[in-house]
Amino acid sequence: FAYIMTKEHIPKMIADTMLSLTDNKYVLLLLINIFLIFVGMFMETIAAILILFPVLLQLATSVGVDSIQFGVMVVMNLVLGLCTPPVGVCLFAATNIAGNKLSDNVKALLPFLLANFAVLGLVTYVPFITAGIANLILGA
């Protein structure tokens, strides 16, 4: 899947499509979040980062998003995708380890997913949480 995406220049096409839809920073960040959660559901995290991050970082920085903020946002999106059905790898692994039904685990996971989505919203739309704190620590 990663090979096909790279060979066919799919990340570049997706970035161009997103930029053609809007140049509003906040709408673009929402589109990137939705896209990355979807990708995280089906694709392994490291491969997704290697393939998509360079293209999406260029897109995000073109509308004024800090690179530290964007990096944290990408990782959070892909990790959320790991726990989200239909192919949530971590969800299925936890189900097998616990010996529970998938529906029981999804019900138990729902409050945590909602909290994680709330944190993702804060990281996406409040840059001080990531970039500001990093700049304070690094003295930049």
Please, what are the averages of pLDDT over each run of 10 residues along the chain (140 residues)? 77 83 90 92 87 88 90 93 81 87 88 94 92 80
Cis peptide before 11 (omega within 30 of 0): no
Residue 120 near residue 77 (C-beta atoms within 8 A): yes
- pTM: predicted TM-score of the whole model, two decimal places: 0.83
DSSP 28-56: HHHHHHHHHHHHHHHS-HHHHHHHHHHHH
Q: Name the amino acid, one letter, at 63.
A: V
Residues in contact with 28: Cβ distance below 8 Å, sequence separation at least 6, in sequence order: 18, 19, 22, 59, 60, 63
Quote the pLDDT of residue 140. 62
Quote the pLDDT of residue 106. 86
